[in-house]
Amino acid sequence: MTNSTSITDKPITSIDQDKLKSRRYALALTNFIAQSDTPMTVGLQGEWGTGKTSMMYMLREQLTGMNIATSWVNTWEYSMFRGAAETTPAVLRGMLEKLIERCESEGQWTLKDESKQTMKNVGKFFTRLGNQAIANKTGLDLMDAASGDDPDAVQAEIADVKRDIKEVIQKLLDDPDNKYQRVVFFVDDLDRIPPTDAVEVLEALKNMFDIPNCIFVLAIDYEVVVKGLESKFGEKTEENEREFRSFFDKIIQVPFSMPTGAYTIDELMQDKLSGMGIFIPDEYKDEYAKVVAFTVGYNPRSLKRYLNSFSLLRSLRDADFAEDPDGFDGEKPDGKDDLMLFSLLGLQISYPKIFRFLVQDIQFVDWEPGMAEKLNVNLQEVLETVSKFGDGMTGKTDEVWEQVIYGFCNRDLGAGKRDPYLKAKWENIVDLLNLLRDTFSIQEGKKEEDVDTLYDLLGRSMSFAAITNVDDDVAGKSGMEKRGRVVRFDTMESKYNFLKEDPSTNLEALPLWKAVGELFEEFVAQEGCAIKVTASYMPLNKGREKIAKLHNCKAKKFIIKGHVHHEIGTLAPQGNEHIVFKEGGKSIPDQWSFTLYSDAGLPRLREVIAERINSIS
């Protein structure tokens, strides 16, 4: 079977399709609905994309086999191309029409023609409704719908309509020729229509369909109801919140919050990815699940959008590699690249402002106070604030980069206001970046952290994760182009000029960095090597063979760091007081890392690089 490159955002229609382990909730709700007193209204509460429609489909599937008649209306469909005054009567009429259709499709509409005609007359009454002003009786202005102008006659006709609905439904349930014992009305997508319309539909349901043996299952977002009631109660505050809640409680007898926290989102993710031909290595399954938790969270619809974007960017990256392997230093993207791309995309989707900072300087572990100043973050105030909250808080803000993120997410936007979203999510951002750090730079059995591997992976994936990100920063004005999976400068000189303006650069060490770059250029001229100047490092290659790599000079280190490649198994070369060589470790077994302390170490670096070139000649 051919794999798809994307997944659709359709709800499941059967309990057998459930990948979120919601089955137990669906069965419990089914039993409750089948045995509860009536009339009863159950409200499935949850924000956009939390699986309310899928839950209702599972309920309907189970109830269909329990001698229960069902009706399903999608309020959004009834609101399309209709004004606000037409939506509510269209929904009410649709509920009755769909009941008849469903019963007929099951061969169970056993009432005589006169009952069906009564239902049609009720439908005509709803068709005549208009002018959806709130009235005392039903929440609607029924004057034009009734047959006369006499108020008493109007009230009488309203009462007749309610009686007709009740009598027809009761006749259906009492008829021994069909199996039905109660009716369940499913009302979906109330949170997709204008909030004021949603409130009117709720009021009309409460007053017109308050009928024995009937249960209503509504898919609703409480915040939509709040917005729809603001015209009546004003903006919600602590003082009037009870009024909003009282209205909701009057309509909904049994609120059920969608159990997103209990969803097995990792199983859904793996199922959808495998359907697109993307398989998560066992060693990274926990990391993928944590990335989702730190970014889009447990909203199934948001996850599907996330996975579709990941599939697209991954395909673009692989297509670029197939066309230009040299642009990837000859390294085919692997599982580590997939996890990094997935993580950066999640950061870009959920926290675009933080993502921009990472684009400007991907070496976040080495962020210095200069980055805080650039973002108008007062580190002293941050330290004073976090010290008040104990060791738990201090443990997540003990490094400068963590303090920068905390300070930015909790910064004052004016008049004492803060970004509520970032304020609530700063720990997720810190946890996500620490996850990447622990996964790619902490080597088992090694005391020293290898952040260079982390930065390499960040650089390889950043340009793809940034495809949907629009920004205007220093890097964008310094001759950078996005090609392959790394960000490149036109020349080493343009990179040098960029570093001079970057607040995270150690300007005192910059001349030493340039001296190493000039050493690389000597090998370009003499040995036919090539340099690729990227945002985080500068590799020296000969053909498809890797020779060496030079990293940026950061503010807190008056040193220059890099790598020299070698045959696996060979011992690190001897250094001296000016330059030290170390084995790269498990994550980079074919590289020696070097730390250059002064230009007096350049001759030894030249010798080691020359030996590497001779070994592949």
For residue 50, what is the domain's CATH number?
Answer: 3.40.50
- DSSP-based helix, strand, coil % in the chain, nearest 5: 55, 10, 35
326: tokens are 């040299």
546 shares a domain with 510: yes
606: tokens are 């030249």
Other residues' Cβ atoms within 10 Å of the Cβ of residue 178: 18
Confirm whether 26 is domain-assigned: no
Confirm whether 474 is domain-assigned: no
Residue 487: per-residue pLDDT: 54
Q: Which of 225, 258, 291 is the last residue of a domain?
A: 258
All residues at 6 or more sequence positions from 544 whose CB lies less than 8 Å from its CB, including other chains: 325, 326, 330
95 shares a domain with 129: yes
Pick out the chain residues at pLDDT < 50.
130-148, 447, 472-486, 587
425 shares a domain with 334: yes
**Cα dist from 319 to 313, 322, 325, 460, 464, whole Å:** 10, 5, 10, 14, 12
For 233-306, list the strands marked E by DSSP. 254-257
Tell me which long-range contacts 272-275 makes (C-beta under 8 A, separation of at least 24): 272/7, 272/303, 272/304, 272/307, 273/307, 273/311, 275/3, 275/4, 275/7
Q: Which of 411, 432, 465 is the last residue of a domain?
A: 465
All residues at 6 or more sequence positions from 318 whose CB lies less than 8 Å from its CB, including other chains: 333
Residue 175: per-residue pLDDT: 86
503 shares a domain with 441: no
pLDDT tens digits, one per residue of 339-360: 999 999 999 999 999 998 888 7
Asked whether the CA dihedral 458, 464, 465, 471 is positive or negative, the reply is positive
Confirm whether 212 is domain-assigned: yes
pLDDT tens digits, one per residue of 61-104: 999 888 899 999 999 888 876 666 678 888 888 888 898 889 88
Domain count, the chain: 3
458 shares a domain with 322: yes
Cα–Cα distance for residue pair 411/417, rounded to 1 Å: 8
103 shares a domain with 238: yes
Confirm whether 335 is domain-assigned: yes
501 shares a domain with 376: no
Confirm whether 9 is domain-assigned: no
Q: Is 564 helix (H, G, I), strand (E, B) or coil?
A: strand
All residues at 6 or more sequence positions from 130 whose CB lies less than 8 Å from its CB, including other chains: 85, 86, 89, 141, 144, 145
Q: Is 182 helix (H, G, I), strand (E, B) or coil?
A: strand
Residue 323: per-residue pLDDT: 84
Asked whether the CA dihedral 264, 269, 275, 280 is positive or negative, the reply is negative
Closest-CA residue to 363 (of 488, 434, 454): 454
95 and 71 Cβ atoms separated by less than 8 Å: yes
Asked whether the CA dihedral 174, 178, 180, 184 is positive or negative, the reply is negative
Confirm whether 13 is domain-assigned: no
Residue 415: per-residue pLDDT: 74
For residue 320, what are the domain limits? 262-465
Q: Which of 258, 275, 305 is the last residue of a domain?
A: 258
423 shares a domain with 359: yes
User: Which helix (H) or strand (E) element contains residue 247?
Assistant: helix 241-251
Cα–Cα distance for residue pair 94/594, rounded to 1 Å: 74
516 shares a domain with 367: no
User: Which residues are registered as beta bridge partners of 538?
Assistant: 550
Tell me, what DSSP letter sits at residue 29? H
285 shares a domain with 221: no
Confirm whether 16 is domain-assigned: no
Cα–Cα distance for residue pair 483/485, rounded to 1 Å: 6
180 Rama class: left (phi>0) / alpha (psi -120 to 50) / beta: beta
237 shares a domain with 93: yes
